Amino acid sequence: MSEHKVYKLDPVEVSDAWKEHAYIDNDKYLALYKESVEDPDTFWGREGQRLDWIKPYTRVKNSTFAYPDASIKWFEDGTLNVSANCTDRHLAKRADQTAIIWEPDDPETPAQHITYRELHDNVCRLANVLKAQGVKRGDRVTIYLPMIPAAAYAMLACARIGAIHSIVFGGFSPDSLAGRVEDCKSAVIITSDEGRRGGRSVPLKANADAAADKSGHVEKILVVRHTGGDIPWTEGRDIWLDEAMAEASPDCPPEEMNAEDPLFILYTSGSTGAPKGVVHCSGGYLVYTSMTHQYVFDYHDGDVYWCTADVGWVTGHSYIVYGPLANGATTLMFEGVPNYPDASRFWQVVDKHNVSIFYTAPTAIRALMGAGDDYVKSTSRKSLRLLGSVGEPINPEAWEWYYHVIGEMRCPIVDTWWQTETGGVLITPLPGATKLKPGSATRPFFGVQPALVDSEGSMIEGPGQGNLVILDSWPSMMRTVYGDHKRFVDTYFSAYKGMYFTGDGCRRDEDDYYWITGRVDDVINVSGHRMGTAEVESALVAHPKVSEAAAVGFPHDIKGQGIYCYVTLMAGEHEIDTLKKELRDWVRNEIGPIAAPDHIQFAPGLPKTRSGKIMRRILRKIAEDEYGNLGDTSTLADPTVVSHLIENRQNRR
């Protein structure tokens, strides 16, 4: 199934310039990788030194994946403070260096440059405000903020006093917010008057009020003054954060935390079901995110690094805030969206701030590709030297567009596979070491031991396709599901004994490169042939008129399952029936007759999570004719998309 044309694009060799410039070349990768898995205590004992420890660790790794006793500990007798590692320790050298560039939603509003000294000052003041409100180490604080610097201040302020933050994406409804507040029992919410996205205001404070009423748990709401819009106010409960911070002391000694003390809780994005409260801890998490940020993105002093994720997702935690700030980097925070005021916005921001490293998601790449090249060509993008992708398999066609049109063949693409649960990137190219193959996340990062198993749990050796598992622990992996350790071991360690199960399907090729084929739950089984969704979708996206596609299985009398595809066309293309036939023939030709879609439905929009991932679970229900029972849809970005799809469903009986 893997022989079709879209996977036959030529590999991209590492250029000589990159080999010289990057931290890691291929020989170094191979040697260090070997050490990292054969002698993890030495490897990680050394890497742990990238942080400042209060009490140095003497034990490095202590973990087991055994079911049901799985337990993960790293650097367990060491103590440190995460916020001190992201701020205080940079002050000697970098006090006046920009830590955060803030680019607002509206291009007319001036950007802000926050230095490490200002960051430190704000974090300490906010930490003192939290203390004054009675927040103590171990308490949970919910953060419900737009993409503004205060989000980073709030995270680091919690870390400073040992409180555990739980960030809820600002696009979530009061109900979703209330559910997450309830789950972790947090008495404090930090929010802002409003948020601003794509020119529209988001009523964050009003939503927080509604959530507080619903949960009955919330004692204090700290409010960032952001847009200045009118908001409801409850005396005694609500506090303006700017006023409280102005009065607070800028001196707040960091709390001494154990490496294994929780740093944050984060709920997964909910592509497959109800979100889980993933718990990440202090020491191992920061060692790993700092190391991957440096090597995967090849971050050097002077780079301007931009990750377009929201801090409400793990990518924002690890690669906007913690990894970059631990490294003393300059990290850009963008309040807006890719297509406002128009589809040039990302590239205009790149030019405005001389961004050299750019990290985004396939959903954005496909949407911008669909809008056409003119929006790109009007910008320079000369400052760019590295591009990254995360969140879903990147279709080879979208990869090629990113590489040729955005990066002008100058910028390697790091396709980083990882999960909320993994804390940091696990499978990825290293730009100075790895030959790139469009659509493949390529090879494991240091210390990561991926493997493929069949449905019985037998190991697949050599090239093949199966379920992706990881054989041993790495420092930034989740430690538990908040308040439900049994759910943790059952979800990740029960399917294949002694292994961490990722839930993803994967193919390994003859070069030992890994290709994520989609979620295991989404695999389509046509007459006994198991097909990853990514394969069919990538074939469709390779057609010049298609910008995005989603494939799901539906019950079929003869084949067991048939293939049902939802297709979004490029801007300006018409939804005509002859095109459906053309697309069916196209897939047949690209992959083979077995993969030819039974039904194609044109879809101007696909149901996505708020982080932009296609929710095939819902598309499957629609194709199966079961739309009375769509399951948990609380994480859907735009529920109206669903009713439109139901109306236009193809295989009505």
Peptide bond into 68 cis (omega under 30): yes
Q: Which is nearer to ligand ATP, 344 or 502 (CB)?
A: 502
Interactions with ligand ATP, residue window 612-631 (CB under 6 A): 613
> At closest approach, how far in Å is the CB of 26 from ligand ATP?
21
Closest CA relative to residue 615, chosen from 642, 581, 588 = 642
Under the binding rule (CB under 6 A), the answer on residue 516 touching ligand ATP is yes
| Beta-ladder partners of 142 | 166, 189
The count of chain residues that interact with ligand ATP, using the rule CB under 6 A, is: 26
Find out whether 269 is annotated in a ligand binding site: no
> At closest approach, how far in Å is the CB of 315 from ligand ATP?
8
- How many contiguous H segments (helices) and E segments (strands) does the chain have? 22, 31
Q: Which is nearer to ligand ATP, 143 or 441 (CB)?
A: 441
Q: Cα–Cα distance between 559 and 254 in angstroms, integer?
A: 62
Find out whether 315 is annotated in a ligand binding site: yes
> At closest approach, how far in Å is the CB of 609 from ligand ATP?
6
Under the binding rule (CB under 6 A), the answer on residue 363 touching ligand ATP is no
Residue pair 536/467 in contact (Cβ under 8 Å)? The answer is no
Interactions with ligand ATP, residue window 235-274 (CB under 6 A): 268-273
Q: Cα–Cα distance between 194 and 208 in angstroms, integer?
A: 10
Under the binding rule (CB under 6 A), the answer on residue 392 touching ligand ATP is yes
C-alpha pair distances (Å), 345 with each of 103, 376, 379, 547: 11, 9, 10, 19
Find out whether 300 is annotated in a ligand binding site: no
Instruction: Please state the separation of Cα 199 from the chain's center in Å.
Output: 24
Pick one of 104, 262, 388, 391: the residue that binds ligand ATP (CB under 6 A): 391
Under the binding rule (CB under 6 A), the answer on residue 416 touching ligand ATP is yes
Encoded amino acid at 293, one letter: H
- Quick one: which segment of 119-127, 208-216, 223-231, 496-504 binds ligand ATP (CB under 6 A)? 496-504
| Beta-ladder partners of 74 | 61
Q: What are phi and psi of 563, to 5 degrees?
A: -110, 125
> At closest approach, how far in Å is the CB of 513 from ligand ATP?
13
Q: Which is nearer to ligand ATP, 44 or 501 (CB)?
A: 501
Q: Which is nearer to ligand ATP, 343 or 398 (CB)?
A: 398
Nearest 5°: the CA angle 126, 130, 136 is 135
- Quick one: which segment of 23-31, 179-187, 367-375, 389-397 binds ligand ATP (CB under 6 A)? 389-397
Under the binding rule (CB under 6 A), the answer on residue 399 touching ligand ATP is no
Encoded amino acid at 450, one letter: P
> At closest approach, how far in Å is the CB of 627 from ligand ATP?
20
Q: What are phi and psi of 101, to 5 degrees?
A: -100, 125
Q: Which is nearer to ligand ATP, 96 or 175 (CB)?
A: 175
Q: Which is nearer to ligand ATP, 282 or 419 (CB)?
A: 419
DSSP state letters, 100-154: EEEE-SSTTSPPEEEEHHHHHHHHHHHHHHHHHTT--TT-EEEEE--SSHHHHHH
The contact pattern for ligand ATP, residues 557-596, with x = CB under 6 A and - = no contact, is ----------------------------------------
Q: Which is nearer to ligand ATP, 60 or 357 (CB)?
A: 357
Report residue 380 as tokens. 């320079």
Q: What are phi and psi of 493, to 5 degrees?
A: -120, 0
Closest CA relative to residue 171, chosen from 634, 482, 548 = 634
- Quick one: which segment of 325-333, 386-394, 525-533, 587-595 binds ligand ATP (CB under 6 A)? 386-394
Residue whose tokens read 């290293």: 430
Q: Cα–Cα distance between 564 and 561 in angstroms, integer?
A: 9
> At closest approach, how far in Å is the CB of 110 from ligand ATP?
33
Find out whether 123 is annotated in a ligand binding site: no
Pick one of 101, 223, 390, 623: the residue that binds ligand ATP (CB under 6 A): 390
DSSP 522: G
Identify the three-state secondary structure at position 350.
Answer: helix
Q: Which is nearer to ligand ATP, 232 or 273 (CB)?
A: 273
C-alpha pair distances (Å), 264 with each of 142, 169, 399: 10, 14, 33
Under the binding rule (CB under 6 A), the answer on residue 415 touching ligand ATP is yes
Identify the three-state secondary structure at position 170.
Answer: coil
Report residue 216 as tokens. 């009955």
Residue pair 458/469 in contact (Cβ under 8 Å)? The answer is no
Interactions with ligand ATP, residue window 420-449 (CB under 6 A): 420, 441
The contact pattern for ligand ATP, residues 179-208, with x = CB under 6 A and - = no contact, is ------------------------------
Residue pair 304/357 in contact (Cβ under 8 Å)? The answer is yes
Find out whether 429 is annotated in a ligand binding site: no
Pick one of 142, 176, 356, 419: the residue that binds ligand ATP (CB under 6 A): 419
Which parts of this chain interact with ligand ATP (CB under 6 A)? 268-273, 275, 389-393, 415-420, 441, 502-504, 516, 519, 611, 613
User: Residue positions in the annotated binding site for CoA?
Assistant: 197-200, 315, 339, 527, 588
Feature table: binding site = 197-200, 315, 339, 391-393, 415-420, 504, 519, 527, 530, 541, 543, 546, 588
